[in-house]
Amino acid sequence: MPRLIPLLLKISLPLIVIDQITKWWVVFNFKQPYLPFQVFPYLPPRGEFQGKYWLASNHVESIPVIDGIFNISRVHNQGVAFGFGNGSAWAPVVFLIVPFVALIVVSLLWKKGVFEGIAKWSAPLLVAGIIGNLIDRLTQGFFLKGYEAESFWTRLSEGYVVDFIDVTIPLIDYRWPSFNVADSCICIAASLLFLSAFKAEEKKPKNGV
């Protein structure tokens, strides 16, 4: 089995750089999508109250790339896939710890030889996705407008993942939850793991054969 470090340098590192460049481009070029209630004490049209924020869908700035199908939008996600836990008090803390645990698990599984065949490519992709989103959670809260005077821990707890790829599936007209480069890495890695497990099952000899 090849060493993990070369794969991390050749695959994970470039993907992390691309992930961060695209996210910071969005942060610097799009307006903050949700408004701290104590700074902007009014209810935006069609907004809904969650905790300390007014979440207003009409305040999410978008750039159409393919009309009706693909937009670039700035979305803040404190939860995980499909926005699970987004807006909750526990999500920022829990999902700040989970990535560190996930990185340890990936390292242990690699040493045990779990990532074999095409699955070996899933390990650096997983690391890229995990670290890319972890960087967001550790840094983005410190750049939120309206939180400049808050404590270090408050701003850290307001960390979020920057999602910007906004896709609507034609025909069924389903708007897929926004995602980013890091999320794509994790999804591809999961697909490779699934395919490797499927191929491993095919290679198993039948009874008596």
Q: Among residues 19, 136, 163, 166, which one is catalytic?
A: 163
Nearest to 160 by CA among 182, 180, 138, 128: 138
Eight-class DSSP state of 165 = E
Catalytic option among 19, 136, 166, 183: 183
Active site residue 166: no
Phi and psi angles of residue 55, each rounded to the nearest 5 degrees, phi first: -95, 115
Locate 144 and state its tokens: 């939120």
Phi, psi of 96 (to 5 degrees): -90, -30
- Told to judge if 183 belongs to the known catalytic residues of this protein, a careful annotator would answer yes
For residues 27 and 12, what is the distance between their CA atoms, to the nearest angstrom?
A: 22
Q: Which residues are identified as catalytic?
A: 163, 183
